[in-house]
Amino acid sequence: MAYDCIIVEIEDEVALIRLNRPEALNALNKQLLEELAQALTEADQNDKVRCIVLTGSEKAFAAGADIKEMAEKSFVDVFVGDLFTAPTEAILRVRKPIIAAVSGYALGGGCELAMTCDFIIAAENAKFGQPEINLGVIAGIGGTQRLTRFVGKSKAMDMNLTGRFMDAAEAERSGLVSRVVPTAKLIPEAMAIAGKIAEKSQVAVRAAKEAVNRSYETTLREGLLYERRLFHSLFATEDQTEGMAAFLEKREPQFRDK
Ligand code: CAA
C-alpha cells in the first residue's frame, strides 16, 4: 500500500517505518496515525518481517499530536470520535517487537507513541516531554500513565505539570530509554538490535513480549504465574530442543520458529 505520511522499507527481516511529515516535525495527524496503524498491522502479518523499527527524522521523532488539526475540535468531536483510540489500539495488537528509534523531539503524542513501542533507543540529541499543559490540556495517549511507570511519579509529575523536556542522558538514567547512541548512528544501531531479535526463535520472542507486557497489567503473583506457564509451554517447541542442544554442542542455534 502507498503511504503519504510514512515511509516503509523492509531490510533483512526488519521493517523500518519512518514518520514523514517534515513540514510539521512529524506531528501526528489523523492520516499519519491511520497509515501507521495500517503499516504496523501489515508488518505484523508479513512473514518476511521479524522485528519492526519505528523512527522519525533527525530533528523530530514526532512533535506531538497535530495541534492545527485539534485546535478547532469540540468536546463532542473528540469524545464521540474517540480521538486517538483506534490507532493506539492497533499498535498494541502488534505481536512482533517494535523498537522506537528516537532522534530529536519526542513530545506529547510523540513521546507517548515511543512509549507504546516495546522499548526506546535514543539518539544523543533526543528530547522527551509532555508539554500538553502549555496548550491547556493534558496528555491523552499515556503520558500520565506509561511515563509514570517508566520514570516514577516524581519525574512524571514534574514533566506533566511543567512541560519541561528531558534530554537523552536523563531519559536513560530514569529508565525511559534502554540505550543512548550517537545521533548519526541511530538507525544502523536500531537496525542491528532489531536484527539480533530477528535471529531468535519467534515463538520465544512473542512469549517474552507478552510476559513483559503482562507485568504492567497484573499483580506480581499473577504475572509470575503467567511467565512460568509460558516458560513451561516453550518446552513443547523444537526451538527449545535446538537452542539448548546448540549451547551444549558449542554451536550457533538454527531456530525454525517451531
Ligand atoms: N502540531 C502541528 N504542527 C506542529 C507541531 C504540532 N504538534 N509541532 C511543530 N509543528 C509545526 C510548526 O507549527 C511549524 O510549522 P510552520 O512552519 O507551518 O509554522 C513547524 O512544525 C516547525 O515547528 P517550529 O517552527 O515550532 O520549530 P522549532 O524548532 O522552533 O520548535 C518545537 C520545535 C519545540 C518542537 C515546537 O514546534 C513545539 O513546541 N511544538 C509543539 C509541541 C507540543 O506542544 N506537543 C504536544 C501536542 S498535544 C498532544 O500531543 C496531545 C496528546 O497527548 C495526544
Active site residue 242: no
Residue 24 banded pLDDT, cuts 50, 70, 90: very high
Tell me whether residue 43 is in a domain.
yes
Average pLDDT over residues 104-119: 98
Give pLDDT tens digits for 56-108: 999 999 999 999 999 999 999 999 999 999 999 999 999 999 999 999 999 99
- Site to substitute for ligand 1 among 21, 23, 25, 107, most atoms within 8 A of C-beta: 25
> Residue 139: which domain range?
6-198
Whole-angstrom distance, CA of residue 218 vs CA of residue 145: 15
CATH number of the domain within which 135 lies: 3.90.226.10
Check if the interface score ipTM surpasses 0.95: yes
Average pLDDT over residues 134-159: 98
pTM: 0.97
Average pLDDT over residues 225-246: 98
- How is the beta sheet containing 60-62 ordered, strand by strand? 60-62, 105-107, 127-129, 165-167
1: pLDDT strictly greater than 80: no
Question: What backbone torsions phi and psi does residue 5 show, to the nearest 5 degrees?
Answer: -105, -5
Tell me whether residue 1 is in a domain.
no
Half-sphere exposure of 13 (CA within 13 A, CB side): 15
CATH number of the domain within which 220 lies: 1.10.12.10
Task: List residues near ligand 1 (CB under 6 A).
Answer: 24-25, 27, 63-68, 84, 105, 107-109, 112, 131-132, 135, 139-141, 143
Catalytic residue among 56, 64, 109, 142: 109
Q: How far is the CA of 252 from the centre of ligand 1 (A)?
A: 48
Active site residue 109: yes
